[in-house]
Amino acid sequence: MKNKIIGTILLFLALAGYFKLDSDVKSKEENQLKKELNEKNIYLSSGLAKQNLGDYEGAIEDYNKAIKLDPNFKIAYNNRGVMRNALGNFRDAKKDFDKTIKLDPNYETAYYNRGLAKINLGDSNGAIEDFNKAIELDPNFKWVYYDRGLLKAELGDFNGSIEDFNKAIGLDPDFKLAYNSRSLAKYYLGNYRGAIKDCDKAIELDPNYATAYCDRGLAKAKLGDFNGAIEDFNKTIELDPNHIGAYNNRGNAKNMLRNAREAIKDFDKAIALDPNYATAYFSRGAAKMNLGDFNGAIEDFNKAIELDPNSIDVYNYRGAAKRELGDYEGAIEDFNEAAKRGGF
């Protein structure tokens, strides 16, 4: 009997030891899981910090480590995709957003980011589909309306782009980028006064917004207010001395006021800032024509065509310069080329 009791006690102790061991294993597993969860979040936070400091490669390394600890960490995939997109690795960025969406089909930010990657990959229709989905999931996502508006404008749908900018402004009445972008859409629709009003609002929101002054200057020039345009281009250059477009635009306004010599100085500056800026060569060539320097004009037109062979206006102007020099065959060739490309 005694031996039987002892055996029972030993069996009980053994069972107790077994359950204790199982408890220890679970505790260790839980602790390990907590450790991994903590580590992955540490890597996520470190990646975000590096991202904000502009260290995109370092951020990617941290997101890689977070994903290694948790292969289903959707935020890490999304953030890594953003970094890859910023570094120009658009295909891998899209793969990251694909993975994020697979993990969470209702993650609106991933659709938005994938739309941006698709734009960079030349898939405009796919980008709009993703922006539409992001808006469906979050109708108050102002940046999606804004970027969809930019894409529509790029595709020539200026009315559609204005609708999107209107929506973005409705969500954020102080959204200066949306006002300025809407001004450009209105500009291309010929609504120059409306464009000026939007630029005025953008400048009211940010008096140091150089691009808004430049765009307002363009609209003023279209209305024949070249002096007002020059004032805006001057302000643009004051705020951003390396604003290439402002020098070119100011030069054009000066040329329209028959101040070709000063205009050429502006075009020279634009070309010095960007030797591959085809528009500035074309503009300088036009100014040289006004001074009677047709050979110099042709040299600039040649360079403009070398940089941008699809510019119809350059062929027309070069043809006119050749005609002034008596090169009628060359002039006809240029006029024919312009006509072949869709204009005269």
3-state SS of 3-28 is HHHHHHHHHHHHHHHHHHHHHHHHHH
For residues 110 and 101, is the Cβ–Cβ distance under 8 A? yes
Q: Helix axis angle, 142-154 relative to 158-171, nearest 10°? A: 160
φ/ψ of 207, rounded to 5, equals: -65, -10
Considering the chain, what is the average pLDDT of its residues? 91
Residues with Cβ within 8 Å of residue 316, at least 6 apart in sequence: 334, 335, 338, 343, 344
Averaged pLDDT for residues 57-64: 97
Count of positions (residues) in the chain: 344
**What integer pLDDT is reported at residue 12 of this predicted model?**
29
Mean pLDDT calculated for residue range 166-180: 98
How confident is the model at residue 31, as a pLDDT?
A: 52
**CA-to-CA distance for 145 and 143, rounded, in angstroms?**
5
In sequence order, what are the residues at sequence separation of 6 or more whose Cβ sits closer than 8 angstroms to the Cβ of residue 65?
A: 39, 40, 43
pLDDT of 8 higher than 60: no
Quick: pLDDT tens for 45-60.
Answer: 999 999 999 999 999 9
**Burial class, 159, CB count within 10 angstroms (exposed 0-12 / middle 13-18 / buried 19+):** exposed
| Residue range 277-303: mean pLDDT, rounded | 98
pLDDT at 93 over 50: yes
Check whether 5 has a pLDDT greater than 80: no
**173: Cβ contacts below 8 Å, ≥ 6 apart:** none
The average pLDDT across 184-193 equals 98
pLDDT digit string, tens, across residues 101-112: 999 999 999 999
Q: Does residue 263 contact residue 287 with C-beta atoms inside 8 Å?
A: yes
Q: Which two tokens stand for residue 340?
A: 């072949």
CA-to-CA distance for 318 and 281, rounded, in angstroms? 12
**3-state secondary structure at position 238:** helix
Q: The dihedral of CA 133, 139, 140, 143: what is its sign?
A: positive
Half-sphere exposure (Cβ direction) of 136: Cα atoms closer than 13 Å: 10
Residue 310 is classified by DSSP as T
Weakest mean pLDDT among 3-7, 69-73, 90-94, 308-312:
3-7
**Widest pairwise Cα distance in the chain:** 131
Query: What pLDDT does residue 301 have?
Result: 98
pLDDT digits (tens, 9 = 90+) for 207-254: 999 999 999 999 999 999 999 999 999 999 999 999 999 999 999 999
Rounded to 5°, the CA angle 60-65-67 comes to 90
3-state helix, strand, coil in the chain (%, to 5): 80, 0, 20
**CA–CA separation, 109 and 23 (whole Å):** 41
- Residue 341's pLDDT is 84
Q: pLDDT band for 38, please (50, 70, 90 cuts).
A: confident
Residue 200 Cα distances to 183, 205, 232, 258, angstroms? 10, 9, 11, 28
Q: Give the per-residue pLDDT at 342.
A: 78
- Whether 176 has a pLDDT exceeding 70, the answer reads yes
pLDDT of residue 229: 98
